[in-house]
Structure 1
Amino acid sequence: MKTKHTLKLLRKYGAEGTNGTITYNGDHICHTIELPDRNNIRRISCIPIGQYKLEKVRYQRHGEQIGIPNVLNREGILLHAANSAKDELLGCIAPVTSLTGEGKGTGSGKALAKLKALVYCLWDMGDDVYLNIR
């Protein structure tokens, strides 16, 4: 039987961006940056709160990524590296090592590697991984 694992993303909304923290079983994994909440408008808003099943997505340009399918009225939402939501994101979520402002952070590549290692390890066991955003 598949085990269901849930990563929790707790958000704080700002005018310039949305910052958050991802935890798993109470352990801190990384911080996150996203665009501000603009009512789920494509390319300029963070995605709505809710529970999403994460899936492996393969892109020719970016290789294998952690995808967030089944977002209402949205597609192609990923967890990928970026240090500035405004300059580098179109609705996706970027893991960062530390937050430096609203929608800004540092060490995104390192944070993504840590998150990917965890999620891939759970996937490799044949389990399902969910992201619970609130």
Structure 2
Amino acid sequence: MEFLLHRTYFKEGTNGALFYKNHFMGFVIELPWFENKKQVSCIPEGEYILKPRFSEKFKHHLQLENVPGRSLILIHPANDARTELKGCLAPVGHLNGIGKGLYSRPLFQKILSYCHQAFERKEKVTLNIKS
């Protein structure tokens, strides 16, 4: 199972369009590109394996594996990249600015549901990030 994220970079943040099976699912907000610096930059483009993860803070969410020079890069709900993200990715149903969006939780739950169904089928789940 593969998700495709098409990014657009801005000085204030990164906005992306998320697709599954060539169907648009929603948007993704991230921090701006700052040479992959920890906690202040979005991650490099590439293909990443997604794994399920649980924490008290985010409950059930997703983690990207093998991000160069980074760890604990997550996909979790957020509506403002600058104030709520430290290198992670947040799906949003509607963009309302650069690195800002609305309706993060409903889209996140839909993505999480797709992923958990694939995990139960023992499928590999990937996120391919391109510009």
TM superposition score category, shorter chain reference:
over 0.9
TM-score relative to the length of structure 1: 0.93
Give the match for residue 125 of structure 2: 129
TM-score relative to the length of structure 2: 0.95
RMSD of aligned residue pairs (Cα, Å): 0.9
Is there any run of 5+ residues in structure 2 with no aligned partner, and where? none
Matched to 1:112, the amino acid is F
Segments of 4+ moved more than 4 angstroms: none
* 1:82 paired residue among 78, 83, 89: 78
Give the match for residue 94 of structure 1: 90
Is there any run of 5+ residues in structure 1 with no aligned partner, and where? none
Q: Over residues 46-89 of structure 1, what are the superposed CA-to-partner deviations in whole Å (9 max), with x where a residue is unaligned?
A: 00000000011122333221101210111111000000000100
Matched, 1:41 2:55: no
Alpha-carbon distance in 2 for matches of 1:54, 1:31: 18
Confirm or deny: 8 A CA contact 1:11 1:20 kept in the other structure.
Answer: yes
Q: Note the C-alpha offset of 1:8.
A: 0.2
Moved more, 58-67 or 119-128: 58-67
